[in-house]
Every structure is written in structure tokens, then in C-alpha cells.
């Protein structure tokens, strides 16, 4: 179905820049970048998928069934996203909050052109009808001029709820916890701007430059744009192996090396942050056990500190072997949405989240990634991300955190602002109305 060619490149960073610039003429773009993050769990340094040959775009109703049929019928690479609101397909839930972005709930496409980067090699995998374009495209990419970034925009984002309203809602979440309705829930708030004209790729490049996360993504499907600096993997399947890496636990960075090291040490020993992470690990283990071979669910790492440019994070790694009878899409359906973005018990937490949040999450808290022809896949969690609809000119990003019995509402609000820092910086040089 595809013709493949391999070329050697001298400068991976420069080739990435040229590749992104070259891709901008395409109507559909998915760019996934590990930022050369040192991890044995990554398959590629970066992937570019462009120009849909076929596509699936739908609301939540029977979305996973439609995706399963599309993935199996196509039998090819497909790239796209799952929005958080696919929870309504998985469970008897609803999403009735305000939605300024108006993204479809699910959007996947089969790219005509697919380019993988690994070390000093670039692999072109084109549909056979385009195989005579590979050499031409490689030469064009190699000679593409990278445009100088424009001055950062001055977009003033506004909070959907005031700080006082946020504190009230966290206190209401705590009342649910103290009553025993839930143990933990991820509560989020939206920051937004209207009538925005945005060069999405330049914002992505700026955000990626200051964050350098292992699961960065730029997505443009028609007028729907995602600019993601996600540090979190949702779920990966390779052969029979499943890997989920939930994040729970956040601390700031410091320019002082000794202080920075001490902050990381404190995070590693913080009982509240540990309890947040362990509760979600238990939830992920439970989700995976429903589609895993008996006795195969294991926790490789529990509450390990990972350091990124903006923050320190506690990350756990949960592995399993998928049962022989489970189709790839079923592994996603069973575990969706990611436990780190919901809470425990999962369904109760999602119901309370819907009551207390003001905005439909949409692609935020969802996942972006791909399926291979063999049915393997890899998806991130859409956090630390800017969403933009270029048609209605609405821009949005959301931030949140896990609320547990030990949560201090004021500290939770400070954590939200910490997570929003990089996004605010690239949109308005760090200024926003908060």
C-alpha cells in the first residue's frame, strides 16, 4: 500500500524546522515530536502525517465503534485525536457546558504522505500512487527556507471563572470527597480569548522551544488547531505490550541548581502528591486489568520524579499484556479518558467534574496519536495545550489539578497558574487577566 524510502540527514533539528515549514501547505497536519527525550519507550524522534486520503470525523455517538471499523477497514497508518467528551460514548454521561471551540469529538485521517525521523535517518512512507514524489519532496524539504518567527502576539486571555469562584468550586469538590462520593477528582478551569488571529505553527514552535516535552504535538485539521506541549503519555501498544504513564504531582523549577534539586526532593517525599499519584495508578491498573492477560498488570515505576523545563512531575509507569481477543480500539475505549484527568471512582468523578466545571473540555484531557497498520498505537494526554478554531477565532487553554482530601484550594490555584505559565508566555509575554 505504501512505498518507503530512507535518506540520511546531517542536522535533525534543522531538518525538523524545514519539515514543519514545508508541511504548512497541507490541509491536514499531525506533527508528533519527542524532542529527542531520552526514553526507551519511544519509537521515533518525530513523525509528520499530512494530506488526508480518507478521514473519519464524528460526534461522540458510537464513536469508538466507528473508529474500530475505520481502523480495521483502512489497515493503514491513521492519525488523529480522541476528545475527552467521548466519555459519553463509553458511559451514560453528558457534556452540556459551554463550548467555544466547536471541535468534532473524534477526528482521524489516513495520510497520503508520512515521514518518520529517527536519529540521522528520515523515512518517507507514501501511498503508492505518490511514490514518484518522494525524491522531489525530500529535495524540497532539504532546501526549504525557515521563516523567521514574527513577534510574539499580545493576546490577553481571560479566566472563565474568577479566582474566588475557583476556590468556591474546589471547596465544593472537597465536600464531595469528605462525604465519600469520590476520593479524588481532576478539576480544571479555562482561559480563553475571542476574535483572535493566530499563526498557530509559530505559537507551537515558541511553546515547544520553552517546554521541550516528550509528547509535543501540532495538529491542524481544517480549521481545528492543537498546539500541545504535553509531558504525558496516555497509552501505548506495541505488539502485546501496553504502557500507560500517568502524571500526578507537580512542583515548580528554580534557576538556582541547589534549590531546584531540593524542590525535586520535596516533591518525591510529599505525601499529598504521592497519594494523588497512587490513587490514579490504582485506577489505571483497574482499567487495564479489564483488557489484559490475567496477572500481567505491573507497576514498573511508582512516583518517580521527572524534570521538565517548566516543572518537576511525579510519573508512574503501568504495564500490561493485552488479551488475545481484545482489538486495539477496545484497549482505548476501556481505559478512556485517562485516569489522571478524571479521578476515582472514575464515573462519579466525571459526573461531579461536569457539574462544577464551566466549560466543555473537548480535546483538552483527550488524546492525540496514531495507529500503525499492525494495530499498534501511541497516544499522549492533551494537557499544557492551546486549542484554536481559526474559523470562529476562538482560542482556549485549560489547566487543573487533582483535588484530594489534603488539598488546599489556594495552593491548587497556584498550581494552575504554574501549569499555565508557558502558554501565557507565548500568547502574551506572560501577561494575562487573572
Domain total of the chain? 1
Name the catalytic one among 184, 190, 232, 425: 232
Residue 53 counted as domain residue: yes
Q: Quick check: 48 pLDDT over 90? A: yes
Instruction: Determine contact, residues 252/243, Cβ cutoff 8 Å.
Output: no
**pLDDT at position 43, please?**
83
| 434 in a structural domain | no
Q: Quote the pLDDT of residue 39.
A: 58
Which domain, by its residues, includes 263?
Answer: 2-428
Residue 77 lies in a domain: yes
Among residues 248, 321, 360, 419, the one annotated as catalytic is: 248
Per-residue model confidence as pLDDT tens digits over 344-401: 999 999 999 999 999 999 999 999 999 999 999 999 999 999 999 999 999 999 999 9
Q: What is the CA radius of gyration of the chain?
A: 21
In a domain? residue 217: yes
CATH number for the domain including 191? 3.60.120.10
Condensed to tens digits (0 to 9), the pLDDT of residues 57-69 reads 999 999 999 999 9
Please determine, for residue 235, whether its predicted confidence score (pLDDT) is greater than 80.
yes
Are 393 and 117 within 8 A, CB to CB? no
Return the pLDDT at 163: 97
The pTM of this model reads 0.95
Average pLDDT value for residue range 264-286: 94
pLDDT in tens, 151-164: 778 899 999 999 99
HEC sequence for the chain: CEEEEEEECCCHHHHHHHHHHHHCCCCEEEEEECCCCCCCCCCCCEEEEEEEEEEEEECCCCHHHHHHHHHHHHCCCEEEEECHHHHHHHCCCCCCCECCCCCCCEEEEEEEEEEEEECCEEEEEEEHHHHHHHHHHHHHHHHCCCCCCCCCCCCCCEECCCHHHHHHHHHHHHHHHHHCCCCEEEEEEEEEECCCCCCHHHHHHHHHHHHCCCEEEEEEECCEEEEEEECCEEEEEECCEEEEECEEEEEECCCCHHHHHHHHHHHHHCHHHHHHHHHHHHHHHHHHHCCECCCCCEEEEEEEEEECCCEEEEEEEEEEEECCCCCHHHHHHHHCCCHHHCEECHHHHHHHHHHHCCECCCCCCCEEEEECCCCCEEEECCCCEEEEECCCCEEEEEEEEEECCCCCHHHHHHHHHHHHHHHHHHHHCCCCCC
Residue pair 106/80 in contact (Cβ under 8 Å)? The answer is yes
Tell me if residue 357 is catalytic: no
Percent of the chain with pLDDT over 90: 92
pLDDT at 153: 84
Average pLDDT, the chain: 94
Task: Label residue 72 by pLDDT band (50, 70, 90).
Answer: very high
Whether 13 is in a domain gets the answer yes
Q: Looking at residue 36, what is its pLDDT?
A: 83
Residue 433 domain-assigned (yes or no):
no
Assess whether pLDDT exceeds 80 at residue 433: no
pLDDT on residue 430: 46
pLDDT attached to residue 429:
61
Over residues 293-342, the pLDDT tens digits come to 999 999 999 999 999 988 999 999 999 999 999 999 999 999 999 999 99
pLDDT band at 434 (very low <50, low <70, confident <90, very high): very low
pLDDT digits (tens, 9 = 90+) for 101-125: 999 999 999 999 999 999 899 999 9
Q: Which pLDDT value is given to residue 393?
A: 98
Residue 149 has pLDDT above 80, yes or no: no
* Catalytic-residue membership of 248: yes
Percent with pLDDT over 70 in the chain = 97
Amino acid at each position: 500500500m505504501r512505498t518507503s524510502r530512507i535518506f540520511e540527514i546531517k542536522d535533525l533539528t534543522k531538518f525538523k524546522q524545514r519539515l514543519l515549514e514545508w508541511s504548512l501547505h497541507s490541509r491536514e497536519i499531525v506533527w508528533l515530536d519527542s524532542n529527542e527525550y531520552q526514553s526507551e519507550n519511544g519509537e521515533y524522534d518525530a513523525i509528520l502525517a499530512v494530506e488526508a486520503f480518507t478521514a473519519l470525523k464524528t460526534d461522540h455517538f458510537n464513536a469508538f465503534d466507528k473508529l474500530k471499523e475505520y481502523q480495521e477497514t483502512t489497515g493503514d497508518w491513521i492519525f488523529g485525536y480522541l476528545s475527552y467528551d467521548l466519555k459519553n460514548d463509553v458511559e451514560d454521561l453528558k457534556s452540556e457546558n459551554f463550548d467555544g471551540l466547536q471541535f468534532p469529538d473524534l477526528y482521524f485521517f489516513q495520510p497520503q504522505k508520512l515521514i518518520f525521523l529517527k536519529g540521522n535517518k528520515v523515512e518517507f512512507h507514501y501511498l503508492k500512487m505518490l511514490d514518484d514524489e518522494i525524491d522531489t519532496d525530500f529535495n524540497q524539504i532539504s532546501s526549504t527556507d525557515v521563516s523567521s518567527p514574527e513577534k510574539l502576539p499580545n493576546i490577553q486571555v481571560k479566566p472563565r471563572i474568577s479566582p474566588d469562584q475557583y476556590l468556591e468550586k474546589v471547596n465544593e469538590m472537597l465536600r464531595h470527597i469528605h462525604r465519600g462520593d469520590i476520593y479524588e477528582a481532576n478539576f480544571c478551569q479555562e482561559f480563553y480569548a475571542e476574535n483572535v488571529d493566530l499563526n498557530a505553527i509559530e505559537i507551537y514552535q515558541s511553546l515547544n522551544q520553552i517546554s521541550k516535552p516528550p509528547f509535543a504535538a501540532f495538529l491542524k485539521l481544517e480549521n481545528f488547531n492543537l498546539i500541545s506541549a504535553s509531558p504525558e503519555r496516555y497509552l501505548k501498544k506495541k505488539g502485546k505490550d501496553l504502557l500507560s504513564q500517568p502524571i500526578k504531582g507537580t512542583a515548580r523549577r528554580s534557576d538556582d541548581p541547589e534549590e531546584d534539586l531540593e524542590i525535586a526532593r520535596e516533591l518525591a517525599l510529599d505525601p499529598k502528591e504521592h497519594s494523588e499519584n497512587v490513587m490514579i495508578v490504582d485506577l489505571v491498573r483497574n482499567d487495564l486489568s479489564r483488557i489484559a492477560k490475567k496477572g500481567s498488570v505491573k507497576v514498573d515505576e511508582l512516583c518517580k520524579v521527572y524534570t521538565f523545563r517548566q516543572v518537576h512531575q511525579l510519573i508512574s509507569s503501568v504495564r500490561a499484556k493485552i488479551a488475545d481477543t481484545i482489538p486495539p480500539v477496545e484497549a482505548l475505549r476501556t481505559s478512556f479518558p485517562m485516569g489522571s484527568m478524571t479521578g476515582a471512582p472514575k464515573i462519579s468523578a466525571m459526573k461531579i467534574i461536569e457539574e462544577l466545571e464551566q466549560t466543555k473540555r473537548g480535546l483538552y484531557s483527550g488524546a492525540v496519536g496514531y495507529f500503525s497498520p499492525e494495530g499498534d498505537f501511541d497516544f499522549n494526554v492533551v494537557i499544557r495545550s492551546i486549542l484554536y478554531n481559526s474559523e470562529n477565532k476562538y482560542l482556549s487553554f485549560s489547566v487543573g489539578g487533582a483535588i484530594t482530601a489534603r488539598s488546599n484550594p489556594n495552593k491548587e490555584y497556584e498550581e494552575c497558574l504554574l501549569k499555565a505559565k508557558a502558554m501565557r508566555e507565548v500568547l502574551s509575554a506572560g501577561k494575562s487577566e487573572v
